[in-house]
Amino acid sequence: MATLSKASSLTILTKYDRLRWLVAILGSKMNAAWWECSFMDETGIKFLANSFPRSAAGAAFQATTEAAQRVHDAALGRIGSYHLFRLPLTIEDRLLEVRELNGDLPTKNEALAELASIADSAVNAPDGPVQIGIEKKILTETALRELAAHYYSAFSKGTRCYPYFSAEA
């Protein structure tokens, strides 16, 4: 894995966490319906607030992330690849440390616009799995933008694209 300074590492991790938040919203049942989970809207969070009064947004995000992980794993397999919802364990642990759920729930159009701004360029994402890099490049701005561009393309076209990084041999 690439070595980064602590400050730049925190910045990229925060961006990855935000990208997960946006894709979790856009892939949810009420939007693109990539996964059967409808917690990432006002109704879902209000429902979870009964059981998790101080952490409803976090519970919604966690449940949706797990649903997204299962869908991505089914499309890609678990061995030899990493994706937005299942990164190497060291990165996953560090993501938990930077999590800043502010509970904002952008509309579909707002989430797409933010995804486009992260992507910073357009791609024509294929339907299905597509390798966009290798494990040691995951914590780079280029990898983050590439993920965002593929998800933006897929959500805009109404297709399902699963960008992934191959594990190093």
pLDDT band at 54, cuts 50/70/90?
Answer: confident
Q: Which of 119, 153, 33 is nearest to 25 (CA)?
A: 33
153 domain residue, yes or no: yes
Contact (Cβ atoms closer than 8 angstroms) between residue 135 and residue 163? no
Q: Which residue has the tokens 């690439």?
A: 2
Tokens of 149: 């561009």
1 domain residue, yes or no: no
Q: Specify the pLDDT at position 99.
A: 80
Average pLDDT over residues 106-128: 94
Tokens of 27: 């892939």
For the entire predicted model, the pTM comes to: 0.90
Q: Which of 150, 152, 153, 145 is nearest to 162 (CA)?
A: 150
Residue 87 or residue 99, greater confidence:
87
Q: Is the pLDDT of residue 102 over 70?
A: no
pLDDT band at 96, cuts 50/70/90?
Answer: confident
Q: Which of 167, 169, 151, 149 is nearest to 159 (CA)?
A: 151
Q: Specify the pLDDT at position 5.
A: 53
Q: What is the pLDDT of residues 142-163, one digit of tens each?
A: 999 999 999 999 999 999 999 9
Across 12-16, 64-68, 104-108, 147-151, least confident range: 104-108
Q: Which domain holds residue 151?
A: 6-166
Contact (Cβ atoms closer than 8 angstroms) between residue 154 and residue 125? yes
107 domain residue, yes or no: yes
Q: Specify the pLDDT at position 101.
A: 66
161 domain residue, yes or no: yes
Query: On the CB side of 149, how many CA atoms lie within 13 Å of its CA?
Result: 16
Number of domains in the chain: 1
98 domain residue, yes or no: yes
160 domain residue, yes or no: yes
Q: Is the pLDDT of residue 34 over 90?
A: yes
Average per-residue pLDDT for the chain: 90
49 domain residue, yes or no: yes
Average pLDDT over residues 3-23: 80
42 domain residue, yes or no: yes
Q: Specify the pLDDT at position 1.
A: 44
User: How far separated are the first and last CA of the chain, in Å rounded?
Assistant: 13
